[in-house]
Amino acid sequence: MPEAPTGYKEVKAEIVRRVRDRTWPPGALLPSEIDLSGELGCARATVNRAMRELADEGLLERRRRAGTRVRTAPQRQARLDIPITRDEVEATGAAYRYALVERSVGPAPDWLSARIGLPSSGKVLHLIAMHFADQSPYQHEERWINLAAVPDAAQADFSRTGPNEWLVRDMPFNDIRLDLRAGAATPTVAAFLEIAIESPVFVAERVTRLDGVAITLARLSFPPGYRMRLQT
Amino acid sequence: MPEAPTGYKEVKAEIVRRVRDRTWPPGALLPSEIDLSGELGCARATVNRAMRELADEGLLERRRRAGTRVRTAPQRQARLDIPITRDEVEATGAAYRYALVERSVGPAPDWLSARIGLPSSGKVLHLIAMHFADQSPYQHEERWINLAAVPDAAQADFSRTGPNEWLVRDMPFNDIRLDLRAGAATPTVAAFLEIAIESPVFVAERVTRLDGVAITLARLSFPPGYRMRLQT
DNA sequence: GAGTGGTCTAGACCACGGT
DNA sequence: CCGTGGTCTAGACCACTCC
């Protein structure tokens, strides 16, 4: 037997191997941590970590007393890393450019209050901006910021730094909700993205909250060709 | 000091607290595991697990010798729960219907081999299917299954059960990659979805792997109006 | 070279939940 | 009840990397 350096990674690999070759088919009960550590010649804690990570990854299912089983319906979750637009552009090797198009302060429109849960008559900062990659339009951004939650935003200078970069600097813990859809380019957005009207645009609407209070709603529109990537 | 039951969860909470209240501002160097375990009165392994999980979650950044720091740009993540199409439709209260359109077995086309990493001359099962919600087209599905990894799929009956339901039941996997984009409906897809050619369609391409080996590639197209939701 | 995180061990106690 | 996973401990060695 491969009694090589028996680390938790080797244990994970061995378990995956046996799941894959049907030694342990979906639904099967695996040996207990004690038994498996005995067989593989390592400490129980090592097997524990391997099994725990595989359970986190969705391959296994663990219950006290009942033991560890191969999931029949693997927990299917993918994660999206939400990047700063600047980083996202620069990661492709392109030069990033940002431009503020419009800025205004006023009472929140009714649809916005309803959408993200603001008190009526709440003041919001409304921004429209563009992001470019090597002079090509990369993203059209329309954003509303709840000034009751982020009063400093009223004084912030968004002509050089995008609102997302500014907001991210100070708020590590928010609830984020993302709505993704395919839409047809409106005349305005089409002009900014330099595409034909009615072209398919990828639209991401992101609501950010802190302790339940809405901070901002961002509507990001991307021209055809943009891909959003998620992984496990 | 809160010398309560000092478990790794309490340690995590304490670290989060100090990051939030600026005891450790973004970019700050945290104490070493040994120092912190001394201060909190627990074993180093406990602090290690707490810090390791917080690093996995994107709050901290760890490097040997350099120590542990608070991330300056917290990597924000949103999660997508990938549902079975049947469940997704039935959750809206609509009746679900599935229909197999086409089924064939053959060598993998070059683009597919390159895209998901198959040996040339690998055999794949190619399927086209439709999913309906109350008789309205809900999703057009085109799928390729790697028969080297899932030989049983060649004998499976996909006329009643969708390939996704079948795969999920019988085939474990632990790595999912999703590519989302907005596309223009091709004549074929437009006909199936009963929409105009060139209409914006939401396209999700999903590659599923087990231990690095590609199981299947699914290309799912949704008519206008579909929204995909993610949250933290 | 020295300090930090990465990991393993052997043992222990606890909490949960099937039987 | 009692076996299983969940967690903690104290100690140890290793690998990497910054100085």
pLDDT, tens digit, 9 for 90 and up, residues A92-139: 899 999 999 999 999 999 999 999 888 877 899 999 999 999 989 999
What is the end-to-end Cα distance of chain A in Å, rounded?
A: 32
A223 pLDDT tier (thresholds 50, 70, 90): very high
- Cβ-based contacts of A58 with chain B (< 8 Å): 174
Q: What is the mean pLDDT of residues A163-173?
A: 74
DSSP letter for each residue of B106-125: EEPPHHHHHHHT--TT-EEE
Is pLDDT of B95 > 90? yes
pLDDT of amino acid A44: 95
Is pLDDT of B11 > 90? yes
Q: Which among A76, A80, A226 has the least Cβ separation from residue B230?
A: A80
Determine the angle formed by the axes of helices A8-20 and A33-40, rounding to 10 degrees.
100
pLDDT of amino acid B57: 84
pLDDT of amino acid A96: 94
The pair of structure tokens assigned to B184 is 């223009």
B79 pLDDT tier (thresholds 50, 70, 90): confident
Question: Beta strands of A134-211 (E only): which ranges?
Answer: 136-146, 175-184, 200-210
Find out whether A227 and B181 touch, Cβ atoms under 8 Å.
yes
* Helix (H) or strand (E) run with residue B176 in it: strand B175-184
User: Which residues face B136 on adjacent strands?
Assistant: B133
3-state helix, strand, coil in chain B (%, to 5): 30, 35, 35
Nearest residue: Cα versus C1' of D10: B43
CB pair distance less than 8 Å for A16 and B181 = no
Q: Is A212 left (phi over 0), alpha (psi -120 to 50) or beta?
A: left
Nearest partner of A145 among A159, A160, A166, judged by Cα: A166
Among A8, A167, A181, the strongest candidate for a mutation testing the B interface, having the largest count of B CBs within 10 A, is A181
The alpha-carbon gap from A21 to the nearest alpha carbon of chain B, in Å, equals 10
Mean pLDDT of chain A: 89
* Helix (H) or strand (E) run with residue B44 in it: helix B44-56
Q: Pick the residue with more confidence: B71 or A44? A: A44
CB pair distance less than 8 Å for B183 and A203 = no
Determine the angle formed by the axes of helices B8-20 and B33-40, rounding to 10 degrees.
100
pLDDT of amino acid B146: 94
Whether the CB of A25 is less than 7 Å away from nucleic strand C comes out as no
Q: Is B65 left (phi over 0), alpha (psi -120 to 50) or beta?
A: left
pLDDT of amino acid A6: 78
Among A19, A61, A180, the strongest candidate for a mutation testing the B interface, having the largest count of B CBs within 10 A, is A180
Is pLDDT of B228 > 90? yes
Determine the angle formed by the axes of helices B8-20 and B44-56, rounding to 10 degrees.
60
pLDDT of amino acid B1: 44
The alpha-carbon gap from A106 to the nearest alpha carbon of chain B, in Å, equals 29
CB pair distance less than 8 Å for A77 and B75 = no
Is pLDDT of B4 > 60? no
CB pair distance less than 8 Å for A59 and B182 = no
* Helix (H) or strand (E) run with residue A167 in it: helix A163-168
B83 CB within 8 Å of a chain A CB: yes
What contacts B13, CB < 8 A, 6 or more positions away? none
pLDDT of amino acid A74: 65
Nearest partner of B167 among B129, B200, B117, B195, judged by Cα: B129
